[in-house]
Amino acid sequence: MPLFTSNSNMTTIGTDISHAIALLQQGKLVAIPTETVYGLAGNALDEATVSSIFEAKNRPTFDPLIIHIADWRHAARWVQAIPEKAEALAKAFLPGPLTLLLPKRPIIPDLVTAGSPFVAIRVPAHPMARKILEALDFPLAAPSANPFGYISPTTAEHVAQQLGEKIPYILDGGPCQIGLESTIVGFESEAPVVFRKGGIPIEAIEQIIGPVTVQEHSSSNPTAPGMLLSHYAPGTPLVLGNLKELALKHSGLKVGVLAFREPLPGLPPDRQIVLSAKGDFAEAAQHLFAGLRYLDGLDLDLIFAELLPEARLGRAINDRLRRAAAKR
């Protein structure tokens, strides 16, 4: 299998699935591709390994992790009960960018769930992730492979730039197909609740199980992963609004633009990212994190971004933009 070593931080990036499996079996961390974003994976049943995930990401232990399994038919090994609507969602969307928040079995360490009796669980769709999980006899805890609070990685090189010196191997599965984290759905007295907007639109979920409640961010002790107010943020301050009005207001500054369909007239093209010239939400989602990361590397004073229409994946993209712009 082809391997090469990154010159910047001496981490190994490659496509050797068997090597990734061996490292995971040894209790090591491996960055793996999923259809959503790259995950920092480790044995979810081993507290020392889980602790090393939090340490590598500088992630607070009150922010719970998602566990990844190979097949939804095995979910009963890790959770105590599966509501009927959860089964319906799993049948419709797994493998895929859906996470279900369900009562955990004692075998799942409390460290994984931040002390909550519920565990977030999903079946990724990326073929490399599937092959790894099928070869292991334990689930993988795998939050996004980036420093806590920063832009999520959608390529292997993104991981190497930020965590390369902290992990022995990055499995390169190409750019992530979806580019947004999974949608998280839990249940309160059997009633479905969306705890995080993500790669499956709320409209699609409601087509399967009917109306859902949407719970927005939490400033502390989040119920599910990815609920903190400030998250997915570039180092450069991000400002949301009408792009032309923002340009007039901040005319003396060096700025970059993250636009949905059309660039901002008068600004150099190399300081602008258009998420989807044809207005396609899925294409915009694929380009969101990579676009933010590119602009964050340009030594700008500010990044301007506009919100998308509040429909389908536009709602999840707007959620990420609002969190990225939140005061830290």
Which amino acid makes up residue 179? Answer: G
What is the value of pTM for the model shown? 0.89
Q: Which residues contact 186 (CB under 8 A, 6 or more apart)?
A: 100, 101, 102, 118, 192, 193, 195, 223, 224
* Contact (CB, 8 A) for 121 and 16: no
Q: Is the pLDDT of residue 2 over 50?
A: no
Tokens of 273: 């990212």
Mean per-residue pLDDT for 188-214?
95
* Contact (CB, 8 A) for 80 and 104: yes
Note the pLDDT of residue 3. Answer: 34
Q: Is the pLDDT of residue 227 over 60?
A: no
Note the pLDDT of residue 224. Answer: 63
Note the pLDDT of residue 5. Answer: 37
Q: Which residues contact 47 (CB under 8 A, 6 or more apart)?
A: 109, 111
Q: Which residues contact 178 (CB under 8 A, 6 or more apart)?
A: 35, 36, 97, 199, 282, 285, 286
Mean per-residue pLDDT for 173-193?
95
Region class of 16: left (phi > 0), else alpha (psi between -120 and 50), else beta? beta
Q: Is the pLDDT of residue 284 over 80?
A: yes
Q: Is the pLDDT of residue 1 over 80?
A: no
Mean per-residue pLDDT for 151-168?
94
Q: Is the pLDDT of residue 219 over 70?
A: no
Percent of the chain predicted with pLDDT > 70: 92
Average pLDDT, the chain: 92
Q: Is the pLDDT of residue 328 over 60?
A: no
Whole-number Å distance between alpha carbons of 115 and 251:
48
Q: Is the pLDDT of residue 73 over 80?
A: yes
Where do the H-state alpha helices sit in 8-167?
17-25, 47-57, 84-93, 110-113, 127-135, 156-163
The more confident residue out of 265 and 216 is 265
Note the pLDDT of residue 4. Answer: 35
Q: Is the pLDDT of residue 118 over 60?
A: yes
Q: Is the pLDDT of residue 6 over 60?
A: no
Whole-number Å distance between alpha carbons of 205 and 60:
30
Burial group, residue 110, by CB count within 10 angstroms (0-12, 13-18, 19+) = middle
**In this predicted model, what pLDDT tens digit does every residue of 80-107 receive, in sequence order?**
999 999 999 999 999 999 999 999 999 9
Where do the H-state alpha helices sit in 272-312?
281-296
Mean per-residue pLDDT for 235-259?
95
Question: Considering Cα of 123, then 124, then 127, then 132, what sign does the dihedral take?
Answer: negative
Complete DSSP assignment for 24-47: HHTT--EEE--SSS-EEEEETT-H
Note the pLDDT of residue 215. Answer: 86
Q: How confident is the model at residue 220 (pLDDT cuts 50, 70, 90)?
A: very low
Q: Is the pLDDT of residue 279 over 90?
A: yes
Note the pLDDT of residue 318. Answer: 95
Burial 223-245 (b: 16+ CB within 10 A, else e): bbbbbbeebbbbebebebeebee
CATH numbers and ranges of domains, the chain: 3-179 (3.90.870.10), 238-325 (3.40.50.11030)
Note the pLDDT of residue 8. Answer: 45
Complete DSSP assignment for 112-126: HHTT-SEEEEE----
